[in-house]
Amino acid sequence: MKLEILPSLLAADYGRLADEILRAEASGADALHLDIMDSHFVPNLSFGPDFVALSRRVAPSFYRNVHLMMSRPDLYIDVFAAAGAQTLQIHVEADCDLHAELAHIRAAGMKAAVALNPETPVERIAPYLDEVGEVLVMTVHPGYGGQKFIKECLPKLEWLRARRPALDLMVDGGVNAETAVEAVRAGANQLVAGSYLFGRPDMSAAVADMRERCGCG
Ligand code: DX5
Ligand code: ZN
């Protein structure tokens, strides 16, 4: 499967946001990951649909992967579609009818994805596997960048990959050059990295290095 690398805009320098989006695009990364936090589902606020719209305006061909860490993502699906989200990830722990909202995302023209928190058993995803194009396995407790990768989540990737050989499986949280290799070995083919990639003066070299280490250089 194609390995995809997604810098997370959460770790960008917001004083130079447009340049940071362009830097991520020019690095050879495959898509931009945008973290939306509601201070209810997670104990933090990040940014909203305007950042998605800005990304579309600044870098129209750079794919926008939007991660909704929200208790009521159902209220914002059309808003994020209008802002230019191309994949929309909603959490299995959210307070909504997931079957209905995954259909809502697809009807709005986006790729539907489901995300799960570290403490959530992977079996909770089973009823949705035929309704999604991607599963996001969190490898930190969502809410903040710069946390340590939780290795105990890796068996979830193995479980999912054994059941869905062709499904996109993403990891998010604490991904760096070393943990990326472990995630890919367990079955991931999409890697989100925030602080690791935006923290590098040469993001292109870091992206190339990550691809090479994961066996896709
Ligand atoms: C965490 C977010 C992540 C975050 C990852 O709640 O979902 O996407 O940006 O940041 P790092 O790569 O620094 O762990
Ligand atoms: Zn995320």
In the set 35, 38, 74, 168, the catalytic residue is 35
The count of domains in the chain is 1
Answer whether residue 131 shows pLDDT above 90. Answer: yes
Cβ contacts of 108 within 8 Å, gap of 6 or more: 77, 78, 81, 88
Answer whether residue 26 shows pLDDT above 90. Answer: yes
Ligand nearest the Cα atom of residue 173: 1
Q: What pLDDT sits at residue 149?
A: 98
9 CA to centre of ligand 1 in angstroms: 9
Q: What pLDDT sits at residue 51?
A: 98
What residue owns the CA closest to ligand 1's atom 6?
Answer: 142
Instruction: Report the pLDDT averaged over residues 185-197.
Output: 98
> What share of the chain in percent tops pLDDT 70?
100
**Res. 216 pLDDT band, cuts 50 70 90:** confident
In the set 30, 38, 74, 172, the catalytic residue is 172
Compute, in degrees rounded to 10, the torsion defined by CA atoms 79, 81, 85, 88: 90
**pLDDT tens digit sequence for 91-116:** 999 999 999 999 999 999 999 999 99
| Catalytic residue check, 172 | yes
List of E strands, 85-189: 87-91, 111-116, 134-138, 168-172
Atom of ligand 1 nearest to the CA of 143: 6
For residues 69 and 93, is the Cβ–Cβ distance under 8 A? no
Answer whether residue 217 shows pLDDT above 80. Answer: no
Residue from 102, 65, 69, 70 nearest 84 by CA: 65
Pocket of ligand 1 (CB under 6 A): 8, 10-11, 33, 35, 67, 140, 142-147, 172-175, 192-196
Arithmetic mean of pLDDT over the chain: 98
13 CA to centre of ligand 1 in angstroms: 15
47 CA to centre of ligand 1 in angstroms: 14
Atom of ligand 1 nearest to the CA of 147: 14
Q: What pLDDT sits at residue 44?
A: 98
The CATH number of the domain holding residue 79 is 3.20.20.70
**Res. 148 pLDDT band, cuts 50 70 90:** very high
DSSP string, 128-153: GGGG-SEEEEESS-TT-SSPPP-GGG
Ligand 1 test: best mutation among 32, 35, 45, 151, most atoms within 8 Å of CB? Answer: 35
Containing structural domain, residue 200: 4-213
